[in-house]
Structure 1
Amino acid sequence: MSFIYKTYPRLCVVAASLLLSVFSGCISSKEDEEHGEHVIPAHKPADFVVAVDILHSRIHSSLETEESVLELRDIIGWLPELAAQTDLAKDEWDRVHEVSRTLANVAWKNGAVTTDEIEREIDRLRVLADRAAEIDQYNSFETKDGDNV
Structure 2
Amino acid sequence: MLSQTFKANRQAVLLTWLLLVAGCSDNDERVTVHAPSHKPSSYTSAVSRLLKLHQEILDKPLKKRTVHAKHDHKHPHGDHSHGHGSHTHVRIDALEEMSDLVGWLPGLAADTELGEEPWNSVYKTSNELTVVLAQFSTLELDQRRGAFRKQSSEIGSQLTILDDIAERLRNHSGSAHQILN
Compare CA radii of gyration and give the structure with the larger one.
Answer: 1
Q: Distance in 2 between matches of 1:133 and 1:32?
A: 41
Q: Distance in 2 between matches of 1:39 and 1:89?
A: 29
Change (3 A) 1:60 1:30: farther
2:46 is the counterpart of 1:51:
yes
Structure with the bigger percentage of helix = 1
Aligned residues of 1:52 and 1:125 also touching (Cα < 8 A): yes
Q: How big is the shift at 1:87?
A: 0.2
The TM-score normalised by the length of structure 1 is 0.65
2:89 is the counterpart of 1:90:
no
Structure with the bigger percentage of strand = 2
* Secondary structure of 1:102's aligned partner: helix
Q: Where does 1:1-149 land on structure 2 (aligned, <5 Å)?
A: 32-33=29-30, 36-62=31-57, 63-65=62-64, 67-68=92-93, 69-106=95-132, 107-108=135-136, 110-111=144-145, 113-114=148-149, 115-139=152-176
Deviation by residue 1:70-114 (Cα, 9 ceiling, x = unmatched): 222110100000000000101100000111011101123632734
Q: How big is the shift at 1:139?
A: 3.0
Q: Distance in 2 between matches of 1:86 and 1:42?
A: 21
Q: Distance in 1 between matches of 2:170 and 2:158?
A: 18
Deviation by residue 1:26-68 (Cα, 9 ceiling, x = unmatched): xxx79522xx221211000110000000011112113333712
Matching residue's letter, 1:136:
S
Aligned residues of 1:76 and 1:104 also touching (Cα < 8 A): yes
Q: Distance in 2 between matches of 1:120 and 1:85?
A: 24
Q: How many residues align?
A: 111
Deviation by residue 1:2-35 (Cα, 9 ceiling, x = unmatched): xxxxxxxxxxxxxxxxxxxxxxxxxxx79522xx
State the identity %. 26
Matching residue's letter, 2:145:
G
